[in-house]
Amino acid sequence: MALALHAYEAAAKERLPGPVWDFFAGGSGTESMLTAGRKALDRMQLRPRCLVDVSHCDPRTRLLGSDLAAPLAVAPMAYHRLAHPEGEVATARAAGEAGVLLTVSMFASRTLEVIAAAASGPLWLQLYWLRNRAVMRDLIHRAEAAGYRALVLTVDAPRVATRPRDARNGWAIPPDIRAVNLPEETMSASHGSRAGESAIARHSRDQFDSSITWADLAWLRETTSLPLVLKGVLTAEDAELAVKHGVSALIVSNHGGRQLDFARSAPECLTEIVEAVKAADAECQVVLDGAIRHGADIAKALCLGADAVMTGRPALWGLAHSGTEGVTAVLRHLMDEFEEVMALMGAPTPTDFPRTGVTQPTCPH
């Protein structure tokens, strides 16, 4: 029997070792951002229209040229093998079965090629900018050859933020799980730890190039013809710059509360980013990421002008619960709820959600 999302969360918490659960669930600093996005979404109220023909609701949409069964994608998350022995292979199978997009983390624990072989839906590859560009170039070319359809550069993490739970646990990736797409020497540091700093936080300071600027996007452009997506944009100013640099999509995201503490929540930033993109008259799609737990959250994001949403931790809960089956159930649960909201909102397709369909989450700047 399919469970509600919170039941998958509870089951995952029970099954996983404490430090793994903390790595999944935890946030940075005071963890203020773990709840900020959820609170913003909960404050918004839907404004339904009635007497619309909703006898057939069709949640299908297109994101960067890929057909999706609903405006839903799985966010990039490192090391799925922490949740299930099959790792990203199980997640890819599930995303394909549900008809949604999967974004594969640069720190995936299965190879890009084996994930692609298991996937029947579209894949994007997420990147952090490493000091070693040869490693990045190799990864990008492998992604192209394996049929990945876009590159997602995460721009809110010049380094991994201090996450108190991980620091307290002396968190390090267990030795039998590896970021297998990166050369061993690039990764070895993430398996040892030092008091007060988790191994991955230290490792990110060693390996990530925190000196990159907008000008460096030119290198990515020269390296690949895949569309470029930026993840972690939270201001209109950066949205304008992204559009000027030819970015194809923006993921409005707080990194699930794991990076800048006391930041604005992603749902509160969505309107100004959508307006900045619209004002630039650019072909740039917008995706809301973080705290998506209900079909109604997808509807709220679409009303605010997003083209789709991403969900993160719920996929890991499903994975920890029962591998492919669990992830498929979690995704289907969100999609079924969304289809019902479409009917009750009087919005038979994703493009029928009007700006007036939701109250504004005010966030003046």
Ligand X SMILES: CCCCCCC(=O)C(=O)O
- Residues found near ligand FMN in the complex (CB under 6 A): 23-24, 75-78, 105, 107, 126, 154, 231, 253, 255-256, 258, 289-292, 311-313
- Cα 333 to Cα 2, 156, 199, 330, distances in angstroms: 8, 29, 35, 5
- Least distance in angstroms from the C-beta of 276 to ligand X: 25
Residue 82 or 276 having the CB closest to ligand FMN: 82
Cβ atoms of 322 and 39 closer than 8 Å: no
Helix (H) or strand (E) holding 277: helix 266-279
* Site membership for ligand X, residue 258 (CB under 6 A): yes
Out of 84, 255, 321, 333, which one is annotated catalytic? 255
- Output DSSP code: residue 103: E
Contact with ligand X (CB under 6 A) among 61, 91, 181, 204: 204
What, of ligand FMN, ligand X, none, does residue 75 touch, CB below 5 to 8 Å by kind? ligand FMN
What, of ligand X, ligand FMN, none, does residue 12 touch, CB below 5 to 8 Å by kind? none
What, of ligand X, ligand FMN, none, does residue 231 touch, CB below 5 to 8 Å by kind? ligand FMN
- Least distance in angstroms from the C-beta of 200 to ligand X: 4
Residue 155 or 331 having the CB closest to ligand X: 155
> Among this protein's residues, is 255 annotated catalytic?
yes
Q: Which two tokens stand for residue 191?
A: 């398996």
Q: Which two tokens stand for residue 360?
A: 């504004």
Site size for ligand X (CB under 6 A): 10
- Give the gyration radius of the chain's Cα atoms: 19
Residue 78 or 139 having the CB closest to ligand X: 78
Show the site string, 33-52: x = touches ligand X by CB under 6 A, - = not.
--------------------
Give the C-alpha separation, 6 to 50, whole Å.
Answer: 31
Closest by CA to 229, choosing from 125, 304, 79, is 125
Contact with ligand X (CB under 6 A) among 25, 68, 69, 78: 78
Cβ atoms of 9 and 324 closer than 8 Å: no
Cβ atoms of 152 and 104 closer than 8 Å: no
Q: Which two tokens stand for residue 307?
A: 């083209």
Q: How many CA atoms lie within 13 A of 135 on its CB side?
A: 20
Give the C-alpha separation, 64 to 102, whole Å.
Answer: 13
- Least distance in angstroms from the C-beta of 69 to ligand X: 27
Contact with ligand X (CB under 6 A) among 190, 248, 271, 324: 190
Q: Which residues of this chain interact with ligand X, rule CB under 6 A?
A: 78, 107, 157, 160, 190, 200, 203-204, 255, 258
Residues serving a catalytic function are 255
